[in-house]
């Protein structure tokens, strides 16, 4: 009875504190997650308030919250949804997660933490918060193309987080790392996942559909929760996190097609225990410990915000999104949340990390949670500001690059080449994995092979070590050659699909095709390097190796940056030559209209120019009509490129012609703008200019 009374008392105290703080934070229009963390601090042992909940009881309830939270995330994940979000979201998620693991690990080693603690630190800051972002989008009523990309990246990141949990749980068991133990760990994880998914697909979707057909909500709820907790228990029995089993259970239930029904029923139960989970997290926050480790808190917060904004923006741009969309996505994902708490909990529970890492993770999450709504609000104006400050060659490149990626996805011939593209992508993945495996094997087994070679041959340890290193290099050379060769083939294939070469005559698409090839190759190299470094770095824990890798990556990025700049400058010259052709065509058509007495209303067509100059996307001509709100504004003030992603290559104003106009060029009534970009960007520009003429006095918003 005493235990039952203590349980009831703890449950009441936790829910009362959570209920009070969630009401306050709803009133303040702040994320309720932060209110739960505050409630945990209030009922926790580290703040001198005479209301203390039993920590062991709360932690037991919190584990239930973790299971239900991951089960709900699994319901939202399905193979069909993964296919729908496309490979671009996957590239962004893998690139930014790898970058953040590398940054977190490097910071941990710089603070003198152990290798496993540093690896945990990297994993903690790698995954953004689905809960916090979804809540922020809902409260601010955020919509737009970038939200689809954000949700797609979050789906892939959740999957990455699950695998990180499984790997960290296995590595935290205390077994000594070696190439064989690592391979066995990976094989065991793979076999467990395959067996659970295959058996689950045969049984669970059919069972869930049968239960739902009974039309008894309580039966559906109980059966779904039974599947969830049985899978969590099974994962724990095999030595993995309960979160892994719960996530897979949710995914399997989602494959039944009844995920919305199950999610609706389980949502209230999940919310109660998820709140308890966040309260439990808050109970572990020790303000004195956070104050002691204030420097890591500040640096990791900066790493999350700057690293995620940079990593997501760059990778999203390389996958074909506009500067505005890429930057809005990056600023929306600049926080950590529930997965970070779960990963930190695993480290604390297994003894792999010391007590200081957990409150640091929670403090960083709390700070980034607070600033997330502000970052989302500031995303659009920040994107406008950044776009206006880009050098003009980069502005032109950004606009045209989006149109090339669009052509790749829409090209009919590209569809026939998809098997070849998939084959090249598969080869790239195999090359990258093989390179990582060789480097990890070298790190783990160099000492053993050096000793064996020294004993067998009688060589000194130094000579034996040099031979082993040379052997590793000999293995790496063909792998690197194969990687770069495949990257070049993939870039050439995709570039020729977007901008086919002509069999006869002048190849006007040569310059943009060359720019696209270089950019695609750069993107592949950057993603591969970041991924390999993030995976391999924990096996080279010495500070000297971190410095060498950082310098090497810095030099590589510098070389790639110089190459990219030269390519953009060449493309700018090509675009200027194209602008001259466009202006000549517009002037000729306008003169013909004037001589024939035709009405000047509307703008002449540039359909033929788009076929002659395929590297310039879909050029169109748009006229500034009388009464347009654009009249008298500068191009920078109109913010046409920032709002739509399209670029004005030229302006024809009577007999006057302005090539590659600057942002200070003032728009006048009757101006004909030659606009280029992707089909979507051009259509947005057309709509924007048409609305400016039909709705005088409203002006253009830069939001």
Q: What is the pLDDT of residues 523-536, one digit of tens each?
A: 888 888 888 887 78
Residue with more model confidence, 411 or 110: 110
Mean pLDDT score of the chain: 78
**Most confident by average pLDDT, 205-219, 335-349, 361-375:** 205-219
Q: What is the pLDDT of residue 702?
A: 32
Residue reference for tokens 């689809």: 148
Report CA 529 to chain centroid distance, whole Å.
17
Q: What is the pLDDT of residue 404?
A: 81
DSSP state letters, 143-174: -SHHHHHHHHHHHHHHHHHHHHHHHHHHHTT-
Mean pLDDT lowest for which of 114-128, 347-361, 497-511?
Answer: 497-511
Residue reference for tokens 């013909």: 592
Q: What is the CATH number of domain 590-694?
A: 3.30.70.1450
Q: What is the pLDDT of residues 271-295, one digit of tens each?
A: 887 788 778 777 777 788 778 888 9
Phi, psi of 141 (to 5 degrees): 55, 50
Q: What is the pLDDT of residue 608?
A: 65
In the chain, ranges of CATH 3.30.70.1450 domains: 590-694
Residue 75's pLDDT band (boundaries 50, 70, 90)? confident
Phi, psi of 674 (to 5 degrees): -90, 105
Q: What is the pLDDT of residue 698?
A: 40
- pLDDT of residue 517 exceeding 60, the answer is yes
Q: Whole-angstrom Cα distance, residue 541 to residue 114?
A: 9
Phi, psi of 268 (to 5 degrees): -60, -40
In the chain, ranges of CATH 1.20.1530.20 domains: 2-389
Is there a contact between 470 and 462 (Cβ–Cβ < 8 Å)?
A: no
Q: What is the pLDDT of residue 703?
A: 32
Assigned token pair, 200: 């689950």
Residue 701's pLDDT band (boundaries 50, 70, 90)? very low
Q: What is the pLDDT of residue 303?
A: 93
Q: Which residues contact 563 (CB under 8 A, 6 or more apart)?
A: 518, 522
Residue with more model confidence, 432 or 380: 432
Q: What is the pLDDT of residue 302?
A: 93
pLDDT above 90 covers a percentage of the chain that reads 3
Phi, psi of 676 (to 5 degrees): -125, 160
Q: What is the pLDDT of residues 620-657, one digit of tens each?
A: 888 888 777 777 788 777 777 777 777 888 888 777 77
Residue 177's pLDDT band (boundaries 50, 70, 90)? low
- pLDDT of residue 133 exceeding 50, the answer is yes
Helix axes 55-76, 338-350, angle to 10 degrees: 130
Class of domain 2-389: mainly alpha
258 secondary structure, DSSP code: -
Q: Which residues contact 237 (CB under 8 A, 6 or more apart)?
A: none
Q: What is the pLDDT of residue 605?
A: 64
**Cβ-based neighbour number of residue 237 at 10 Å:** 9
Q: What is the pLDDT of residue 651?
A: 83
- pLDDT of residue 300 exceeding 90, the answer is yes
Nearest CA to 402 among 641, 229, 628, 701?
A: 641
Q: What is the pLDDT of residue 577?
A: 77
Q: Whole-angstrom Cα distance, residue 317 to residue 527?
A: 13
Angstrom distances, CA of residue 452 to CA of 445, 446, 447, 695: 11, 10, 9, 82
Residue 697's pLDDT band (boundaries 50, 70, 90)? very low
Residue 579's pLDDT band (boundaries 50, 70, 90)? confident
Is there a contact between 72 and 268 (Cβ–Cβ < 8 Å)?
A: no
pLDDT above 70 covers a percentage of the chain that reads 84
């Amino acid at each position: 009875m005493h235990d039952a009374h203590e349980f009831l008392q703890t449950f009441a105290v936790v829910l009362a504190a959570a209920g009070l703080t969630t009401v306050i934070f709803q009133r303040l229009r702040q994320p309720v997650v932060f209110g739960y963390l505050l409630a945990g601090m209030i009922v926790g042992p580290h703040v001198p308030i005479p209301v203390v909940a039993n920590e062991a009881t709360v932690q037991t309830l919190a584990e239930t919250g973790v299971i239900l939270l991951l089960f709900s995330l699994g319901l939202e994940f399905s193979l069909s949804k993964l296919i729908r979000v496309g490979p671009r979201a996957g590239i962004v998620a893998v690139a930014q997660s790898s970058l953040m693991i590398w940054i977190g690990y490097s910071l941990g080693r710089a603070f003198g933490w152990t290798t496993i603690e540093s690896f945990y630190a990297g994993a903690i800051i790698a995954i953004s918060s689905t809960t916090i972002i979804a809540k922020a989008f809902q409260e601010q009523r955020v919509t737009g193309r970038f939200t689809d990309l954000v949700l797609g990246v979050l789906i892939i990141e959740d999957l990455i987080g699950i695998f990180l949990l499984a790997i960290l749980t296995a590595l935290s068991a205390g077994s000594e790392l070696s190439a064989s133990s690592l391979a066995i760990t990976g094989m065991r994880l793979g076999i467990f996942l395959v067996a659970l998914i295959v058996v689950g697909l045969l049984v669970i979707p059919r069972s869930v559909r049968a239960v739902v057909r009974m039309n008894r909500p309580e039966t559906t709820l109980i059966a779904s929760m039974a599947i969830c907790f049985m899978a969590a228990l099974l994962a724990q029995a095999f030595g993995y996190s309960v979160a892994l089993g719960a996530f897979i259970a949710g995914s399997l239930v989602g494959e039944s097609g009844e995920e919305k029904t199950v999610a609706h029923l389980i949502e209230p139960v999940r919310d109660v225990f998820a709140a308890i989970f966040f309260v439990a997290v808050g109970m572990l926050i020790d303000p004195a410990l956070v104050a002691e480790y204030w420097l890591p808190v500040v640096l990791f917060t900066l790493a999350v915000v700057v690293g995620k904004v940079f990593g997501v923006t760059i990778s999203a741009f390389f996958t074909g999104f506009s500067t505005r969309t890429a930057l809005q996505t990056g600023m929306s994902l600049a926080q950590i949340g529930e997965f970070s708490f779960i990963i930190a909990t695993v480290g604390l529970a297994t003894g792999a990390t010391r007590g200081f890492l957990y409150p640091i993770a929670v403090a960083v999450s709390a700070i980034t949670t607070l600033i997330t709504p502000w970052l989302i609000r500031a995303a659009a104006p920040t994107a406008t500001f950044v776009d206006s400050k880009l050098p003009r060659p980069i502005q032109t490149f950004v606009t045209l690059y989006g149109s090339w990626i669009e052509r790749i996805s829409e090209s009919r011939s590209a569809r026939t080449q998809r098997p070849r593209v998939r084959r090249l992508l598969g080869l790239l993945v195999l090359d990258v994995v093989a390179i990582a495996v060789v480097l990890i094997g070298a790190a783990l087994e160099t000492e053993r092979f050096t000793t064996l070679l020294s004993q067998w041959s009688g060589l000194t340890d130094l000579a034996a070590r040099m031979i082993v290193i040379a052997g590793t290099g000999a293995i790496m050379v063909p792998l690197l050659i194969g990687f770069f060769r495949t990257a070049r083939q993939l870039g050439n294939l995709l570039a020729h699909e977007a901008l086919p070469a002509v069999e006869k005559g002048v190849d006007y698409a040569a310059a943009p095709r060359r720019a696209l090839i270089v950019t695609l190759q750069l993107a592949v190299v950057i993603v591969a390097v970041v991924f390999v470094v993030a995976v391999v770095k924990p096996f080279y824990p010495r500070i000297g190796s971190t410095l060498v890798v950082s310098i090497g990556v810095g030099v590589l990025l510098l070389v790639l940056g110089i190459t990219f700049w030269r390519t953009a400058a060449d493309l700018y010259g090509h675009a200027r030559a194209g602008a001259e052709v466009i202006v000549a065509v517009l002037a000729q058509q306008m003169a013909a209209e004037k001589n024939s007495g035709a009405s000047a209303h509307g703008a002449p067509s540039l359909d033929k120019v788009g076929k002659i100059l395929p590297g310039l996307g879909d050029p169109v001509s748009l006229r500034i009509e009388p009464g347009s709100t654009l009249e008298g504004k500068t191009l920078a003030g109109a913010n046409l490129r920032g709002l739509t992603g399209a670029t004005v290559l030229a302006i024809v104003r009577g007999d006057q012609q302005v090539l590659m106009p600057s942002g200070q060029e003032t728009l006048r009534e009757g101006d004909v703008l030659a606009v280029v970009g992707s089909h979507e960007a051009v259509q947005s520009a057309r709509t924007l200019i048409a609305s400016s003429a039909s709705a005088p006095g409203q002006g253009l918003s830069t939001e």
